[in-house]
Amino acid sequence: MPDLSTTWLGLSLKSPLVVAASPLSREPDAVARAVDAGAGAVVMHSLFEEQLTHDQMAAHRFIDATVDLDAETQGIRPGARAFTVGVEPYLRELERIKRRVDVPVLASLNGTTPGGWTRYAKRLEEAGANALELNLYEVGGPEGETGAAVEARQLAVVQAVVQAVKLPVTVKLTPFYAALTAFVRDLETAGARGVAVFNRFYQPDILLDTLDVDRQLVPSTPAELPLRLHALARLSATTTLSLACTGGVHSGLDAAKAILSGAHVVQLASVLLEHGPQHVAVLQGELAGWLDGKGYKSSAEARGVLDLRSAPDPHAWERLNYTRMLDGWRARDSWRRKS
Amino acid sequence: MTNPVRYRTLDANEAVADVAYRLSEVIAIYPITPASIMGEHADAWSADRRANLWGTVPEVVEMQSEGGAAGAVHGSLQAGALTTTFTASQGLLLMLPDLFKLAGELTSFCMHVAARTVATHALSIFGDHSDVMAARSTGMALLASGSAQEAQDLAAIGHAVTLRARVPVLHFFDGFRTSHEIMKVVPLEDDALRALVNPEALAAHRARALDPDRPVVRGTSQNPDAYFQSREAVEPFYARFPQVLDETMARFAELTGRRYRPFDYVGHTEAERVVVLMGSGAECAHELVEHLVSRGEKVGVLKVRLFRPFSTEHLLAALPASVRSLAVLDRTKEPGSSGEPLYQELTAALVEAIARGERASLPRIVNGRYGLASKDLTPAMLRAVFEELAVASPKHRFTVGIRDDVSGSSLPFDATFDIEPDDVSRALFFGLGADGTVSANKATIKIIGEEAALFAQGHFEYDSRKAGSTTISHLRFGPRPIRSTYRIARAQFIAIHDPEFLERRDVLAAAMPGATVLLNTSLPAEKVWDALPREVQVRLVEQRCRLFVIDGYGVAERAGLGRRINTVMQICFFSLAKVLPLDEAMKHVRRSIEETWGRRGPEVVERNVAALDAALGALRELPVPSTATAARTRRPAVPPEAPDFVQRVTRLLIEGRGDELPVSAFPPDGTWPSGTSKFEKRALALEIPIWQPDVCVQCNFCSMVCPHAAIQTKVFDPAQLARAPASFRSMPEAFEPALDGLQYAVQVAPEDCTGCGLCIEVCPAKDRLKPRRKALVPEPLADHREAQREAFAFFQTLESATIAAVPIDKRTAAFRLPLFEFSGACAGCGETPYLRLLTQLFGDHLIIANATGCSSIYGGNLPTTPYTTNAEGRGPAWSNSLFEDNAEFGLGMRLAVDVRAEHARTLLKGVAARLPAALVDALLSPGSGETWIAQQRRRVKELDALLSGDASPEAVALRDRSSALVPRSVWIVGGDGWAYDIGYGGLDHVLASHKNVNVLVLDTEVYSNTGGQQSKATPLGASAKFATAGKSVRKKDLGLLAMSYGHVYVAQVAMQARSAQTVEALLEAERHPGPSIVIAHSPCIAHGYDLVNAPLQQKRAIASGMWPLYRFDPKRVDRGEAPLVLDSGAETLDVSAYMETEARFRMVELRDPARYAHLVDAARDAARQRRALYEQLAQIHLPKEKSHA
């Protein structure tokens, strides 16, 4: 059995397989089963500041505003003190998961306001998170905002959070950066300790019958993995940050590919939602089996051996498909030497 | 050194609950206005694990009725726990049997009653002593208090004295006036309460508990040899009760400095004229007596604290011997008596005292009634009483506060008489129910009461509308304790929180000279003056008012608070009224926001604080010109074409001037004309739907979903269009081939629409080039009001095409005339569409028995009512009896209808020989459906014509009864609180009959009308009052219970999602010859989401299995089919996807995610098991029944 332990964000993990931020991490029982099955760490589902704001205002509108309406009804719902609309339920969940598992637990945060990011980051630190994953998910910024301005805003957030907490901070990115490696370098300067590639988006659809837009979320498929492998291979070659692969890993062999591309950890969500948290053990077996079969003594040994710097054919990472096909017509080096 | 007094600002409900909770171990309650709030406080404290004086958390249990609560109280007391309950009115009546038991068994028990009118010719939720007086023969001691402070103190004394004296205590205070009036109260600390309770008496109470270790038998059945004597054995306990009470009151005074006595006298020591009364009215009398005594008048007031057991000894000790005339004022009416109860008691006591030689002479004693159903009692009225006492032969058994031009009982009074001192600040606020005015004023009182060295009082008036209700807040602040237990008649500050009030009523009637007037209006400041009606301008000028305006809606909107203008208007009040320095007020309001909303989260606090800051910047003073300039006067409250009764009576009620109406204006038996809501044009909507014929697909979804019948659809002969105004739109009917050639129209009633948006939400038609444009487009009311009013008026005159030949379905049902329109229900109400549909299907031959609840309030609350008539003058006949008896009430109606029909048939058979045989046969043959009923009506008309020349007694009798040959449809309507809980026993019994009654359960899954308490219909996982943490028991399956009889037609429907099935179920229920029950999913504001999403939410409820649709028709058994048909398919959505979109479930998750997850699982299991059970039932085949007739 090869050694699967890894270091991620300065944390020692027994396995590179990590439970990703997903609905699964809402259930302490499921999280515990995943850890029992071998998961090396847990990332909680994201705390969305926007959701909190929405909930607070919804409660204000639909509960607080239905008081003193008429002579009979002083209030239609149990009073304001009956519950809290804030970060507390999330913190309690975090604490519950911390009590249940002995592996690092990361909190995941998606803020909308500069104050919100740091305020909630501190609360998460106090509640015992071992690290923070900042989820920079945003579908569209203000009209007319340039890419540079978006990146500057995001870097400022990361810097503010890093300064506000002592915890290691990793950043979950979208695939849509024009200059990914440069942005990651800036994140490193801002104090981030790692990045996770890539966040997934809701996949809106069109309903032809009713002329509506349909909101939906479909689970990931292995087809989404190559985009991640490509990014990992490039980042692994250019940054010392901890790298996490997230999205598209559905088997131990997928995990092996991510590790070979440079991932320190591989985050799992859809595959566990589909097969259950105990499925981590299956992936771990497949990964270990492959490493063993190839003679790797540890996953650390395999990490990055196919990244942009180390791959036997770096062009394979750098060219798009159609140029690779053209490559086929190009004379081989050996032929050139002969001529 | 003693600590300075630390006041709290509370109403009596909270002050009393706070004491009762700490002195109790078990609290069994049932919600009833105005007492519900005491139970709710207790429930909330128990949920927060607050301990009582002995360190345990009281067990608070909500029962299925007050009768149930009393039973639980009785049992708990028998088993040795300190027990209490809270109730009022009908609730107290339901407790009477147990109260007799409790008193007969000398049980130490104190209960609290927010005294409320008992329903007679009408229900009233307001305050008087008719309920308490109905309990006076139970043997309970009756203890009265008149303010929140007294209510708190006497509550404590009541709990303490009953332990020592063993006579149970009914402590009461006036509903609303005291129960809901906020004032500064010196709280009772735990130590004082503990010191008040006698430990030996407490131990003795516990020792009397039923206990198998030392068993006894209680509640025996006794024979003539024993009962009388043992009944008399209690007498010593009653004899010594007043003394024990006085001792307890003395002990209380030692602990708190506040001395009460069984009778408290205030006034001149040599008083010659004295009024005697109980409750809050005594406070007003106290205020007046001090005023009159300071002017040298020899007057006084005797406040009765202890009504029963009546203590002549304490009465004589309190009442000055100098008194020569005495007015005993009762806040109740006992028709036919020789005098009201307090008068009788007091007179008998004084006569007895004279007989025994304890008094030399009998003063002249007169009896008066006042204050029924919270009618104000003012110093002016009481002065009239004192003046009456001074005349040679004062009126006996008078009334005061009304003008009785029928029996001449009333004392005239000078309404302008006023004794309120100038150093008391008086402020009036006119607000809308949903705008937060009352909440903000409560916060203001708290700030001023607790932060300034001023006494404060807040009283709140409400109407009974659920949408667009008016609230009037009366706030007083002054340097001395405030005893003014009546509405403010002269105010230095008047705030009008919505400009519509200027059009509806005389809001400046109370403006004092120089008064400050604050108006919330969205108009630019420079346009405000010209927009004011002339009456308002004149009043502003005459009273030299200062006028301030603010666009409160704009400020709130910009702060992200929607139309909640509470904090905006609150800070404007502080800025203008100058009760506190503004910066100090600002600090306190901010802190109040943080305290109140802090737990909601920073966003809520920040937005409210932002609104606060913005408000001061937006406040403007408008100089009031020296003369009024407007030509326009206020719009008439009812249109000129309204009938005479509406003009004379209804109009004044709408204008808030009902107090001016004399007795003769009212029907003596509670019978009112129907169809008056159409005369009250409330214009509540900001935006109304405007129809776009070019996009419309003529589906009628809009008119089918409308809760207020404010958007209607019609097909008609296009020839009628010749008279159409330009604003009226129509198009050729294009949906139903059988209706080819007719014209189709969708029409909004612009001034009746509440702007809920449901019609637009369900509209499926979209402009294919601009999909955002539907066939209904929201547009500002202001831009369309006149044109659409004209179009609607024309629409109403259009004669509907005859469509009886087309089968009734969800579309054609919507073409039928609604005979339930423009009710006061909430915008987006999920109940009212069912009632509207019921009247569209059966309205012209419909009798409704309506259980008390939301549907009886929007269905029958004055000033105007929504059940109306068709062109022939026919329409639903409607009545409300009680909450608990509605099924029986409806059954009784059915019995009478059947008896009358049978009598008519018998008479017809008797004269058959003189009539055409075919006509008689047709008249006697059974039938149903609208076509048949129309034919039967024609036959009856023909019969009447044939009989018209026949003077024989049997012919005359038949003509008198012939209309009974037309079938009547009896529907028993009520909410889930009635059907699942308090009325279930009766409902069950009625279903167990073979009578042709139909039951419609408007299931909101919670007690909506009394404020959201859980019922047995509340679904698993939902939070509600008394289930704050989320209900863990499954919803009762009322339909399944009804199915178990086998002969009952049962359906479960959800109209906003599946109207076709609803229409089918209602028609089948009506056709079913025996009892039927239709359980209707009714979205409600209590569910906690924007009701514009109700159709979608209902679809989710169905798709998740939380609300299965089905019809159970016993007739199918005869056809060899399973009686149950499932109308909704297998679940396609997880229950969590339904639950997470309603606050009632979501707040469980926010409070405790783990518990929520557990409850979601349990709800899922429940839904699946129920589904599986139904699926199996839908497969069963039963042998046919033989005839057992």
Compute the nearest-CA separation of B246 from chain A (Å): 36
Strand partners, B780: B687
Measure CB to CB from residue A70 to each of B433, B607, B768 and give the nearest one.
B433
Residue B643 token pair: 């009938």
Q: Which residue of chain A is at minimal alpha-carbon distance from B34?
A: A72
Q: Where are the alpha helices (DSSP H) in A8-126?
A: 28-36, 49-62, 88-100, 114-126
Query: Is B601–A86 a contact, with Cβ atoms under 8 angstroms apart?
Result: yes
Contact A97, B496 (CB under 8 A): no
Q: Is A148 inside any structural domain?
A: yes
Assigned domain for A285 exists? yes
Residue A14 maps to a domain: yes
Which residue in the set A57, A77, A96 is minimally distant from B1144, CB to CB? A77
8 A C-beta contact, residue B1013 and residue B36: yes
pLDDT at A217: 76
Instruction: Determine the distance in angstroms separating the CA of A100 from the nearest CA of chain B, rounded to an integer.
Output: 14
CA distances from B725 to A134, B619, B798, B815, B1116 (A): 63, 43, 12, 21, 52
Q: Do A56 and B601 touch (CB under 8 A)?
A: yes
Helix (H, G, I), strand (E, B) or coil at B1093: helix
SS3 for B1035? coil
- For residue A273, the enclosing domain spans 6-310
Question: What's the rounded Cα separation, in Å, for the pair B257 and B251?
Answer: 10
Of B643, B667, B1086, nearest to B862 (Cα)? Answer: B667
Question: Between A53, A78, A211, which is nearest B44 by CB?
Answer: A78
Quick one: B741 exposed, middle or buried, by C-beta within 10 A (0-12, 13-18, 19+)?
exposed
Specify if A327 maps to a domain: no
CATH number at residue A187: 3.20.20.70
Quickly list H helices, B295-340. Answer: 312-318
Residues in chain A with CB shorter than 8 Å from the CB of B824 are none
Record the pTM: 0.92
Backbone angles phi, psi at B839, to 5 degrees: -75, -25
Examine residue A323 and state whether it is found in any structural domain, yes or no.
Answer: no
Taking only the tens place, the pLDDT of each residue in B1-39 is 345 678 999 999 999 999 999 999 999 999 999 999 999
The per-residue pLDDT for B878 is 98
A319: in domain? no
Answer whether residue A317 is part of any domain: no
C-beta separation of B879 from B849 below 8 A: yes
Q: The tokens of A40 are what?
A: 């090396």
Provide the pLDDT for residue A75. 80
Q: Please give the pLDDT value at position A337.
A: 43
| pLDDT computed for residue B652 by the predictor | 96
Residues 6+ apart with CB under 8 A from B429: B437, B441, B471, B472, B473, B475, B494, B495, B497, B569, B573
Residues 6+ apart with CB under 8 A from B181: B11, B12, B147, B148, B280, B457, B458, B459, B485
Taking chain B (1189 residues) in runs of 10, the rounded mean pLDDT of each run is 74 98 98 96 93 97 97 98 98 98 98 98 97 98 98 98 98 98 96 97 97 96 97 98 98 98 98 98 98 98 98 97 97 97 97 94 96 98 98 95 98 96 95 89 92 92 84 96 96 96 94 97 95 97 98 93 91 94 94 87 89 95 96 92 96 95 97 96 93 97 98 97 96 94 97 96 95 96 96 97 91 97 95 98 97 96 95 97 98 98 97 96 92 95 94 94 96 98 98 97 96 95 92 97 97 97 98 97 94 96 97 94 96 94 90 90 97 96 71
**Predicted confidence band of residue A332 (pLDDT cuts 50, 70, 90):** very low
pLDDT reported for residue A64: 79
Say which of B48, B607, B1088 has its CB closest to residue A63: B1088
Query: What tens digit of pLDDT does each residue of B1164-1176 get?
Result: 999 999 999 999 9
Give chain B's domains with CATH numbers.
8-190+227-255 (3.40.50.970), 262-411 (3.40.50.920), 425-622 (3.40.920.10), 672-814 (3.30.70.20), 901-965 (no CATH)
Task: Name every chain A residue with its beta carbon within 8 A of the beta carbon of B761.
Answer: none
- Domains of chain A: total: 1
- Across the interface, whether the CB atoms of A57 and B607 are under 8 A apart is answered yes
Task: Please give the pLDDT value at position A328.
Answer: 47
**Annotated catalytic, B33?**
yes
B1009 is catalytic: yes
Q: What is the C-alpha separation between B716 and B743, in angstroms, rounded?
A: 5
At B767-825, the pLDDT tens digits run 999 999 999 999 999 999 999 999 999 999 999 998 888 999 999 999 999 999 999 99
Measured between beta carbons, the chain A residues lying within 8 angstroms of B469 are 69-70
Q: Which of A80, A89, A212 sits opposite B600 (nearest CB)?
A: A80
Q: Which residues of A touch B604 (CB under 8 A)?
A: 56-57, 59-60, 64, 85
Is B292:B186 a contact under the CB 8 Å cutoff? no
Instruction: Determine which one of B22, B116, B308, B651 is catalytic.
Output: B116
Q: Parallel, antiparallel, or unpaired for β A212-214 and A205-207?
A: antiparallel
Which of A48, A53, A72, A113 is the mutation pick for testing B, counting most B CBs within 10 A?
Answer: A72
- pLDDT class of A90 with cuts at 50, 70, 90: confident
Give the whole-angstrom CA distance, residue A240 versus residue A8.
11
What per-residue string of b and e applies to B699-717 under the rule 16 or more CB within 10 Å gives b?
A: bbbbbbbbbbbbbbbbbbe
Q: In the 8-state DSSP scheme, what is residue B608?
A: H
CA–CA gap between residue B179 and residue A4 (Å, rounded): 70
The answer to whether position A264 is within a domain reads: yes
pLDDT reported for residue B66? 98
- Probe site for chain B from A68, A81, A85, A217 (most B CB atoms < 10 A): A68
In Å, how far is A117's CA from the nearest CA of chain B? 13
Distance from CA of A280 to the nearest CA of B (A): 23
The C-alpha of B1153 sits at a distance from chain A's nearest C-alpha, in angstroms, of 7
From the list B66, B105, B420, B888, the catalytic residue is B66
Rounded distance between C-alpha atoms, residue B715 and residue B744, angstroms: 5
Is B998 a residue of the active site? no
The residue with tokens 């607050």 is B50
Cβ–Cβ under 8 Å, residues A84 and B1150 = yes
